Copies of this chain bind each other. A is one copy, B any other.
Amino acid sequence: MLTSSSAPGAEYAPDEGPRQNLGALLRHVHLSGPLSRAELAERMNLNRSTIMALTTRLSAAGLVRERQPAAAGRSGRPSLVVTPAADRVYVLAFDVAVDRLVAARVALGGEILERRVAKRSRSGPDLDAVVAVLAGFGRDLHRNAPPGAVCAGAGASYCGMIRPGDGMVRYGPYLGWVDQAFGAELGEQLGLGLPVPVGNEAHLGALAEHGRGAGVGVQNLIYLHGDVGVGGGIIVGGEVLDGEAGYGCEVGHMLVNPHGGRPCSCGARGCLEAEVGERALLAEAGRPDGLFGRDAVRAVVADAGRGDPAAQRALARIGDWLGIGVANLINLFNPGMLVFGGMMRDVYAGAEPQIRKRIADHVLPVSRERVRLSVSAFDDDTTLLGAAELAFADLLANPLGATALPGTAA
């Protein structure tokens, strides 16, 4: 155990106890923002002298700052407030959605400092083109970082099924990718000597909502992400459900309409994402064939709000199918919260009554007595922030080891 006699700058003994405590403390301020040493002592169940030793060490490494609290609440010596060094430590986060590519510099503490966005047409999706755009964005963002700022890692979110460990896209239906070495290619083209771990967008969205969003403290949480299709990130007992090989949570291909349902990108009919995804909503609302994208979806929701009957019927129908999927998930997972993100946030806003009716009709009261429904806390940035969490993982696992990472801005 690290004691208060460990002076800053003393040789770091690679012992699991202090490393875990350093990581845990840094994670607390990274996810929760400024916390006093007293609050940290209580959260971590450690005494104040141990907390002081940890913060002194992290402060010396440039990962946190300590300051006097704005106003001392009670008598006695006020507890210093520990803040993540958001101006000094950042990661590069990438987000590959069906319609757009995003890259961002995200600060320790979770603030998006700067971003680059490219809209993409849906034709001709191609690994090299996607990687070239994102790598260019990433290098540009890295160059723009202030002098002395440190890049602690990189991470990417992708709208498909990702092999854990090497960032291989096993299947990306709307981009037509099968077994593409996305993470490795992006890392190489980025040229910063940083690996780029990749995660499924909804898995990462669940991490972001669980860590710092709508579901903080909820140990059993389901995040539903609507892009063109529908993805799921399911947290069971505090951990994302990966399953046997990392491909769990495929809510989009749950069969909900076995009697002549809509065709799905996977080749089957009646999958949840075929019945509630962007294409279904726009088709039901009678929108012209060529129309697509988040703005088109939002226009339907807005029109429904203004009383447009076709838009209302479309939303009610989509909400009914979504309600079936949601009811099934509540029966299976007995979650504390269900979070609607991406396009599902818009659908939920317009079809909450249909969703709640299906839950009432198809979930036993015992199974639903604790579940809350919520929308994503981050507008369209949930998956990007999830990618940032992936990028911060190494730093948070070993704060003092990871500062030796390459990628420091000149």
Taking a contact as CB atoms under 8 Å apart, the answer to whether B258 and A161 are in contact is no
Residue among A255, A259, A324 with the most chain B CB within 10 A?
A255
Tell me, yes or no, whether A366 is within 8 Å of chain B by CB: yes
Taking a contact as CB atoms under 8 Å apart, the answer to whether A332 and B370 are in contact is no
Q: Mark A48-80, 1 if CB is under 8 A from B, else 0.
A: 000000000000000000000000000000000
In A249-277, the 8 Å CB interface with B consists of 249-251, 253-259, 266, 268, 271
Taking a contact as CB atoms under 8 Å apart, the answer to whether B255 and A364 are in contact is no
Taking a contact as CB atoms under 8 Å apart, the answer to whether A220 and B237 are in contact is no
Tell me, yes or no, whether A239 is within 8 Å of chain B by CB: yes
Instruction: Considering the complex, give the chain B residue whose CB is closest to the CB of A325.
Output: B255
Tell me, yes or no, whether A242 is within 8 Å of chain B by CB: yes
Q: Which of A84-92, A148-156, A305-313, A333-341 contacts B (4 or more CB under 8 A)?
A: A333-341
Which chain B residues border A329 with CB–CB below 8 Å?
Answer: 332
- Give how many copies assemble into the complex: 2
Which chain B residues border A246 with CB–CB below 8 Å?
Answer: 334
Taking a contact as CB atoms under 8 Å apart, the answer to whether A268 and B366 are in contact is no
Total number of A residues with any Cβ neighbor in B under 8 Å = 51
Q: Is the interface of A mostly helix, strand, loop or mixed?
A: loop
Taking a contact as CB atoms under 8 Å apart, the answer to whether A324 and B255 are in contact is yes
With A241-B333, A335-B243 as given contacts, are A250 and B364 in contact (CB-CB < 8 Å)?
A: yes
Taking a contact as CB atoms under 8 Å apart, the answer to whether B255 and A258 are in contact is no
In A201-242, the 8 Å CB interface with B consists of 219-220, 232, 234, 236-237, 239, 241-242
Residues of A bordering B, CB below 8 Å: 161, 170-171, 219-220, 232, 234, 236-237, 239, 241-251, 253-259, 266, 268, 271, 324, 327-329, 331-336, 361-367, 369-371
Further pairs besides A253-B362, A254-B328: 8, Cβ < 8 Å: A171-B366, A234-B332, A245-B369, A245-B370, A253-B364, A255-B324, A255-B328, A259-B259
